Amino acid sequence: MPTLVHEFAWPDRVVIGTIGVPGARTFYLQVRTGKQIVSIALEKQQSAELAEKIDDILDQLGTIEGNPFSVPAGTPVELVDNDQLETVEEQFRTGAMSLGWDPATAQIVIEAYPIIEIDADTGEIPDVDDAEVPEMLLVRMPVGTARAFAKRTREIVGAGRPACPLCGYPVDPEGHVCTLPEA
């Protein structure tokens, strides 16, 4: 069965956002071109890693003599997007992701695939219903948009629960009890 590819070559908007309160947030990668919008759920750590790796790629590209891809060192002000997520209808929960660079179009490329359920008893992938079509998200974004995406994502990830100064674990709004390591 062919894979349904949700492809965005030059998206109008691509952001990470959340729904819920710190400690119980769901992270979404949301992409829109015109009226086509796709939202996929992902983990906080996946979001953080994605932002870090995008910045790593852009930083490396920016060191190439003459900066031929016009990679901005910082986030272009005109590309800052602090708006909330648009209406979220989760397409799938992300399992595997890949990140790459397309020098032909000077774009960062993100591929996201859904979590594949594996039978705990057999270790095999169960038969997929005929109605269930395998799918993926493919996003291509220019360097300025990618830099703004990474910045916003770091801010969203960092806006969670504060860390306890003693144990380093997150502090819930109701309070926190930690056990200090024994000396």
DSSP state letters, 127-143: PPPTT---EEEEEEEEH
Q: How many helices (H) and strands (E) does the chain have?
A: 2, 7
Q: What is the mean pLDDT of residues 160-167?
A: 80
What pLDDT is attached to residue 117?
Answer: 76
- Greater confidence (78 vs 183) lies with 78
Give the CA distances from residue 129 to residues 5, 40, 116, 125, 133, in Å, rounded to whole numbers and listed in that order: 18, 21, 13, 12, 8
C-alpha 129/C-alpha 120 separation (Å) is 18
C-alpha 136/C-alpha 26 separation (Å) is 19
**What is the percentage of the chain residues whose pLDDT exceeds 70?**
91
Q: Would you tell me how many other CB atoms lie within 10 Å of the CB of residue 38?
A: 22
| pTM across the whole model | 0.85
Name the β-bridge partners of 42.
Answer: 27
Tens of pLDDT, residue by residue over 117-141, are 776 777 776 665 545 678 999 999 9
**Chain-centroid distance, C-alpha 106:** 20
What pLDDT is attached to residue 34?
Answer: 96
